[in-house]
């Protein structure tokens, strides 16, 4: 009887070891693909970060399954609790990739991709390989190919605007620029030694089809409270 049970247990251990190997290798492939895409566009979290998050998440789910096998029902616990802690705890890492510049926020996509590879790792770790592979394909399509469809902006430009005083004029300027489909990277109040008036430094980029910025400068000049404006 003991020999029979030992044989069954040995087969289970061998089968689980193969699953561990396959799950970690699959997670490595899937998460590296997403990390490589992020690294190609110079994002703070690249292959290594995505790989570490995905592999760790996969191991968490494998650990849950191992504990179920190890205690064989003698200890009752929820095997999904460890995975739930991964999902809630990955937020601090994603927050580190988010940067606020003026009116714009960068890094949200990278933060979301980190959360996604954690989910991919959990899926691969629990044996849901089809879901992990399918999600990776969808994410890569969304990140890589949708960027070709969305409007592109050219290099950044700097606009210097002299104001009479700081009031609602700044908000009006921002709205006027957005009306002309300019992408604002930041609006900064700078001090001028040779001027007693507030000065704005607006960093922006424009769609490729907008060639002449003269008309936009004229529109900014017409705003009440704006004394002068020029491109740096």
Of the listed ranges 98-102, 128-132, 166-170, the one predicted with least confidence? 98-102
Cβ partners under 8 Å of residue 90, min gap 6: 53, 114, 115, 118
The predicted pLDDT at position 154 comes to 55
Q: Which of 14-23, 36-45, 77-86, 212-221 has the highest mean pLDDT?
A: 212-221
State the chain's mean pLDDT as an integer.
Answer: 79
Q: CA distances (Å), 174 to each of 123, 149, 179, 230, in order?
A: 44, 26, 9, 16
Mean pLDDT confidence for 113-118? 89
Given a cut of 80, whether residue 227 has pLDDT beyond it is: yes
Given a cut of 80, whether residue 178 has pLDDT beyond it is: yes
Given a cut of 70, whether residue 113 has pLDDT beyond it is: yes
Of 138 and 97, more confident: 138
Given a cut of 80, whether residue 149 has pLDDT beyond it is: no
Mean pLDDT confidence for 217-227? 85
pTM here is 0.61
Q: How far apart are CA 38 and CA 51, in angstroms?
A: 12
Q: What sign for the dihedral angle of Cα 13, 18, 23, 28? A: positive
Mean pLDDT confidence for 136-150? 79
Q: How far apart are CA 205 and CA 185, in angstroms?
A: 8
The predicted pLDDT at position 30 comes to 92
| Domains along the chain with CATH numbers | 2-149 (no CATH), 157-231 (3.30.70.260)
The predicted pLDDT at position 82 comes to 82
| Closest C-alpha among 51, 29, 62 to residue 118 | 51
Each residue's pLDDT tens digit, 14-63: 676 788 888 888 999 999 998 888 887 777 778 888 889 999 999 998 88
Q: Are the C-beta atoms of 202 and 173 separated by less than 8 Å?
A: yes
The predicted pLDDT at position 70 comes to 75
Given strand 183-190, what is the order of strands in its sheet? 183-190, 199-205, 157-163, 226-231
Mean pLDDT confidence for 62-70? 82
Q: How far apart are CA 89 and CA 27, in angstroms?
A: 19
Percent of the chain with pLDDT over 70: 80
Q: Sorting pLDDT into bands at 50, 70 and 90, what band is 120? A: very high
């Amino acid at each position: 009887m003991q020999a029979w049970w030992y044989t069954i247990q040995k087969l289970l251990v061998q089968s689980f070891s193969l699953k561990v190997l396959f799950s970690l290798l699959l997670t490595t492939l899937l998460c590296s693909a997403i990390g490589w895409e992020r690294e190609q566009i110079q994002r703070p979290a690249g292959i290594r970060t995505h790989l570490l998050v995905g592999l760790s998440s996969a191991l968490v789910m494998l650990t849950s399954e191992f504990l179920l096998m190890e205690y064989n029902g003698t200890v009752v616990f929820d095997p999904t609790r460890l995975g739930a802690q991964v999902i809630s705890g990955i937020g601090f890492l994603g927050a580190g990739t988010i940067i606020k510049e003026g009116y714009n926020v960068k890094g949200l996509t990278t933060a979301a991709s980190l959360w996604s590879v954690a989910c991919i790792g959990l899926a691969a770790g629990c044996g849901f390989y089809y879901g992990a592979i399918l999600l990776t394909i969808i994410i890569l399509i969304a990140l890589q190919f949708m960027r070709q469809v969305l409007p592109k902006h050219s290099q950044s430009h700097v606009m210097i605007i002299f104001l009479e005083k700081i009031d609602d004029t700044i908000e009006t300027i921002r709205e006027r620029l957005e009306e002309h489909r300019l992408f604002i990277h930041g609006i900064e109040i700078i001090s001028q030694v040779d001027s007693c008036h507030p000065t704005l430094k607006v960093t922006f980029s424009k769609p490729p089809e907008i060639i002449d910025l003269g008309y936009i400068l004229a529109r900014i000049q017409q705003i009440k409270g704006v004394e002068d404006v020029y491109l740096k």
